[in-house]
């Protein structure tokens, strides 16, 4: 038996207790059971009615001197289980991961400026090993080619933001723009928006969205994490929605693009009704279902689609309001996001993961951020996606169902999506162990 220390150690915990303090403490304690040494970082996600300050106190009782980040969500993804209430915690320990974290409350006041401050704060807090990290970089240069270094750099960013609230957008597009303006377009950005069960949103119930950072509780928060990694990693974002033959263009926008006032010169609701061959009354009575099962897709230059879902009737049912903006002139396809199409996503991601698939790497952990609308559309079949993802990528899965997903594939720019599954996998292998990189075109298919 080898006594070699693991390059990365991961342990997860779960609690379904109704008591906030005890649930957090139980899940956090479990998350320390299998890691070697003090955690480098711990992630915590929760859903359900909890006293968030007590939950934070429970976490601090277990992590008094280590960092943790997380927040509230629509629901939770824990391995192959979908939880509608509970707390899950994942602790990660590795000498080959160095992390800087910046967070702030009040993101809606000035999302661009506050995000800029948070990402620069995260950058300033990274403490790399002066011996190991330069040596790993030296070995990468010595053992591999320049394409390897450029396509899979030794750094990436995680971002968790506050999702949509009535009359208070999540501004994810501005947040990603701010990060990109600071660190460039070549850096991988993975993340999503915290939230609450979507049923509460559609029912018009008042709600708060919470973010947590090492004892700080935020209601309007942003968390940015900059990683310097010597570990191999891989990422993908897919939705499975298919374009129909029904096409239009955004002919009129309002409220900085968040309200669509015209599609192809028509009232947007009339446009939907014409394409779906239903009455206006039918559409308005079930608008949540129709705009999720048939979202709008903006084609991009890579052969895929940026999805915008959840259009809500606005201004006496004459317009549609969205949580992410459109640009006047955008071509839009009516997308088919029914359950059977969405459940093809794990197979699409498996093809994307062929990028490193033939190198016999060992996954340590996959972070998963999945759209809350997928849960509503897939209903009782929702766990099937997690089961297939776990089977296809052979990795532990830890994540949450979000209001908006952020991600990309290798060598592709960051997308801000709806109705999508965004994954980020860390491996037990070092970047120096990669012998080559496959240039995969499967994402075009």
pLDDT at position 317 over 90: no
- What angle separates helix 111-124 from helix 172-183, to the nearest 10 degrees? 40
Clarify whether residues 142 and 203 are in a common domain.
Answer: yes
Count of H-run helices and E-run strands, the chain: 14, 25
Confidence tier at 140 by pLDDT (50, 70, 90)? low
Sign of the CA dihedral with 284 first, then 400, 420, and 379 last: negative
What's the pLDDT score for residue 435?
72
- Judged against a pLDDT cut of 60, whether residue 49 lies above it is answered with yes
203 vs 124, which has greater pLDDT?
124
Residue-level pLDDT at 443: 38
Across 203-217, average pLDDT: 94
pLDDT in tens, 50-66: 999 999 999 999 999 99
β-pairing, 9-15 with 305-308? unpaired
Q: Are residues 321 and 436 in the same domain?
A: no
For residue 442, pLDDT over 50 is answered with no
What's residue 37's pLDDT? 85
429: confidence class by pLDDT, cuts 50, 70, 90: very high
pLDDT band at 167 (very low <50, low <70, confident <90, very high): confident
pLDDT band at 146 (very low <50, low <70, confident <90, very high): low
The closest of 168, 167, 307 to 239, measured between CA atoms, is 307
Q: For 81-85, 118-122, 135-139, which range has the lowest pLDDT when averaged over its residues?
A: 135-139
Position 139 confidence tier, pLDDT thresholds 50, 70, 90: low
Domain match, 324 and 217 both: no
Boundary (domain end) residue, out of 294, 318, 336: 336
Query: Considering 288, 311, 336, which residue would you say is the last residue of a domain?
Result: 336
pLDDT computed for residue 413 by the predictor: 84
Q: What's the total number of domains in the chain?
A: 2
More confident residue, 150 or 3: 150
Question: 291 is in which domain, residue-wise?
Answer: 242-336
pLDDT at residue 131 greater than cutoff 80: no
336, 366, 399 - which closes a domain? 336
Residues 416, 294: one domain? no
- What's the pLDDT band for 136 if we cut at 50, 70, 90? low
The gap from C-alpha 378 to its chain's centroid, in whole angstroms, comes to 18
Residues 187 and 258 both lie in one domain: no
Asked whether residue 358 is assigned to any structural domain, the reply reads yes
What is residue 314's predicted lDDT score, i.e. its pLDDT?
84
Look at residue 1 and tell me if it is in a domain.
no
The answer to whether residue 112 scores a pLDDT higher than 60 is yes
Predicted confidence band of residue 398 (pLDDT cuts 50, 70, 90): very high
41 located within any domain: yes
Task: For residue 256, tell me if it sits in a domain.
Answer: yes
pLDDT of residue 410: 72
Q: Is residue 3 in a domain?
A: no
3-state secondary structure 391-411: HHHCCCEEEEEECCEEECCCC
Tell me if 438 is assigned to some domain: yes
Structure confidence at residue 300 as a pLDDT band (50, 70, 90): confident
- Helix locations, 16-155, DSSP H: 20-31, 52-62, 111-124, 132-143, 146-151
Q: What is the rounded average pLDDT of the residues 137-157?
A: 71
pLDDT of residue 441: 39
Query: Is residue 327 scored above 50 in pLDDT?
Result: yes
Predicted local distance difference test score (pLDDT) of residue 144: 64
Interval 4-27 mean pLDDT: 95
The mean pLDDT value of the chain amounts to: 91
Looking at the structure, do residues 348 and 327 belong to the same domain, yes or no? no
Contact criterion met (CB below 8 Å) for 235 and 187: no
Residues with Cβ < 8 Å from 235, sequence gap 6 or more?
A: 188, 190, 407, 408, 409, 410, 422, 423, 424, 425
- On whether both 157 and 257 belong to a single domain, the answer is no
Question: 405: pLDDT confidence band, cut at 50, 70 and 90?
Answer: very high
Give domain status of residue 4, yes or no: no
Grouping H, G, I as helix, E, B as strand and the rest as coil, residue 158 is strand
Same domain, 70 and 172: yes
SS3 222: strand
Q: Are residues 101 and 189 in the same domain?
A: yes
Check pLDDT > 60 for residue 444. no
The pLDDT of residue 283? 93
Residue 217 pLDDT exceeds 60: yes
* Domain identity same for 312 and 380: no
Both 87 and 198 in a single domain? yes
Strands (E), 79-230: 81-83, 86-93, 97-104, 155-162, 188-194, 211-213, 216-218, 222-229
Q: State the DSSP code for 185.
A: T
Mean pLDDT of 162-190: 91
The answer to whether position 107 is within a domain reads: yes
For residue 138, name the pLDDT band (cuts at 50, 70, 90): low
- Domain co-membership, 87 together with 207: yes
Q: Give strand pairing partners of 367.
A: 398, 424
User: Residue 438 has what pLDDT?
Assistant: 44
What's the pLDDT band for 287 if we cut at 50, 70, 90?
confident
- Of 49-53, 191-195, 436-440, the poorest mean pLDDT is in 436-440
pLDDT at 293 over 80: yes
More confident position, 439 or 15: 15
Q: Given a cut of 60, is residue 2 above it in pLDDT?
A: no
Q: Which of 105-109, 121-125, 312-316, 431-435 has the lowest mean pLDDT?
A: 431-435
Q: Which of 96-110, 118-132, 240-254 has the lowest mean pLDDT?
A: 118-132
The owner of tokens 């446009």 is: 271
- How would you list the strands of the sheet with 41-47, edge to edge? 9-15, 86-93, 41-47, 68-72, 211-213, 216-218
Give the pLDDT score at 166. Answer: 81
């Amino acid at each position: 038996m080898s006594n070699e220390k693991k390059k990365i150690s991961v342990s997860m915990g779960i609690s379904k207790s109704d008591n906030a303090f005890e649930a957090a403490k139980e899940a956090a304690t479990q998350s320390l059971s299998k890691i070697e040494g003090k955690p480098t970082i711990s992630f915590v996600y929760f859903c359900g009615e909890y006293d968030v300050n007590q939950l934070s106190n429970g976490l601090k009782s277990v992590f008094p001197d280590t960092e943790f980040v997380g927040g509230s969500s629509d629901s939770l993804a824990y391995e192959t289980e979908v939880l509608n209430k509970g707390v899950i915690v994942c602790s990660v320990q590795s000498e080959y991961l160095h992390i800087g974290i910046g967070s702030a409350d009040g993101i809606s006041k000035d999302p661009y400026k506050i995000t800029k401050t948070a990402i620069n704060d995260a950058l300033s807090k990274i403490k790399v090993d002066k011996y190991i990290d330069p040596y790993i970089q030296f070995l990468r240069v010595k053992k591999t080619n320049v394409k390897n270094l450029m396509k899979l750099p030794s750094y990436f960013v995680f971002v968790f933001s506050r999702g949509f609230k009535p009359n208070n957008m999540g501004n994810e597009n501005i947040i990603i723009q701010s990060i990109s303006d600071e660190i460039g377009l070549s850096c991988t950005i993975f993340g999503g928006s915290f939230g609450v069960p979507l049923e509460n949103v559609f029912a018009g119930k008042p709600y708060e969205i919470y973010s947590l950072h090492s004892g700080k509780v935020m209601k309007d928060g942003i968390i940015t994490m900059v990683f310097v990694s010597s570990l191999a990693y891989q990422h993908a974002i897919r939705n499975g929605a298919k374009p129909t033959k029904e096409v239009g263009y955004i002919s009129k926008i309002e409220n900085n693009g968040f309200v669509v006032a015209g599609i192809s010169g028509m009232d947007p609701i009339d446009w939907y009704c014409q394409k779906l061959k239903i009455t206006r009354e039918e559409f308005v009575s079930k608008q949540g279902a129709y705009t999720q099962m048939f979202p709008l897709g903006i084609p991009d230059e890579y052969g895929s689609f940026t999805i915008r879902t959840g259009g809500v009737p606005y201004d006496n049912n004459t317009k549609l309001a969205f949580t992410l903006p459109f640009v006047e002139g955008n071509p839009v396809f009516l997308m088919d996001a029914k359950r059977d199409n969405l459940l093809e996503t794990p197979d699409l991601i498996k093809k994307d993961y062929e990028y490193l698939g033939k190198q016999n790497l060992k996954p340590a952990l996959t972070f998963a951020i999945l759209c809350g609308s997928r849960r509503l559309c897939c209903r009782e079949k929702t766990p099937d996606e997690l089961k297939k993802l776990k089977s296809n990528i052979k990795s532990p899965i830890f994540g949450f169902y979000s209001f908006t997903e952020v991600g990309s594939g290798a060598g592709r720019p960051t997308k801000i999506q709806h109705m999508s599954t965004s994954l980020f996998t860390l491996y037990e292998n070092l970047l120096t162990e990669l012998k080559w990189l496959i240039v995969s075109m499967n994402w075009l298919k």
